[in-house]
Amino acid sequence: MSARQVEARVSAVHPRETTALFGHNHAEMALLNAYRSGRVPHAWLIGGPAGIGKATLAYRMARFVLAHRNPLGADVQRAESLWVDPSDPVARQVAAGAHGGLLTLERTRNDKGVLRTVITVDETRETISFFGSTAAGEGWRVCVVDTVDELNPNAANALLKVLEEPPQQSLFLLVSNAPARVLPTILSRCRKLLLRPLASSDVRKAAAEATATAPDDPALIEATEPAEGSVARAITLLGGDALKLQQRAATLLAALPSVDPRELHALGDALGNSDRVALAAFIDSVDRWFSEHLRADEANANANLPRLARLAEVWEKINRAARDTAEYNLERKPLVFSVFGLLAEATR
């Protein structure tokens, strides 16, 4: 299966349609036990690296709550997991995005069909009418935010207002790839549930199911190790070419602040101008480089704070440029030179 075939197949699978959860048993039981206690916190921040199943867990919790509206009921008290039969009417409605008791905040497309870079304030204000109405019928109403990192400042403040005065039987499930960067005022109103990267065996099983690939497929096994616990990353690397491109980028990143323009030209050519899988693999390599360096600096008692701040600022600039390149299908080579120019300057 080529990387493009993998992307086409997986892009159609939204986390709300995914009924299987691999790993994260501890986190699942934390949500279940809190719900059946009858005193479930009204807001949860589900954090951890990208692509490990956070949104899948959020929708799994949403389905369970909407299908079992009485937390003290015998069916909830006997439950061993948050699993809901896919044939259940609630599960079908959630998968179709048509359940009246569920509101999802995520990036949407603009009038030109281009995916926005942020979740807007107008979309976030829908929570006010959603939680203020009784149109969904008696019982729980659930809001999944995927991801809270993508709320623009005004949208974050709009969400905060609802979190400050939560209605009865309301549940917010906020997904975050970078919990430390979420507004402290939002964090303070959430129960934190941090997920770790998946074990390689779970990555392989999850990626196999998502792509209809055999778990013992050699290409899948090869993609699992560098995926570092992320199903999304394993799927991106499944095509083989993406894995080679990521290794090539990693070699150039390791040589910083030294930069070879000829190699950058070659890398830009390898990215092409329309291959989204290749672009995702390149940006993933850069994100991993940043994560490793920031963790190393933060762990150092004598860390250079100005350097940390500079790296964080550069990371934000690069992510913004990468989003623009992907959304507007811009040429990849200027992005490559911009990324390595910024990184070379920041690491000198």
Around Cβ 218, how many Cβ atoms within 10 Å?
8
Domain boundaries, the chain: 24-194, 240-347
Residues 6+ apart with CB under 8 A from 218: none
Residue 147: asked if its preceding bond is cis (omega within 30°), the reply is yes
The model's confidence at residue 255, banded by pLDDT at 50, 70 and 90, is very high
Inter-residue contact 45 to 192 (CB < 8 Å): yes
DSSP 15: G
Does residue 23 surpass a pLDDT of 90?
yes
- What's the pLDDT at 274? 63
SS3 of residue 20 by DSSP: coil
- What's the pLDDT at 148? 96
- What's the pLDDT at 244? 83
Does residue 303 surpass a pLDDT of 70?
no
| Cα atoms in the 13 Å half-sphere on the side-chain side of 111 | 0
Paired tokens of 9:
């197949």
Does residue 10 surpass a pLDDT of 60?
no
Record: fold of 24-194: Rossmann fold (3.40.50)
Annotate 140-197 with DSSP letters as a single string: -EEEEEETGGGB-HHHHHHHHHHHHSPPTTEEEEEEES-GGGS-HHHHTTSEEEEPPP
pLDDT in tens, 27-84: 999 999 999 999 999 999 999 988 899 999 999 999 999 999 999 999 999 999 999 9
**In whole angstroms, what is the distance from residue 132 CA to residue 101 CA?**
12
Inter-residue contact 99 to 66 (CB < 8 Å): yes
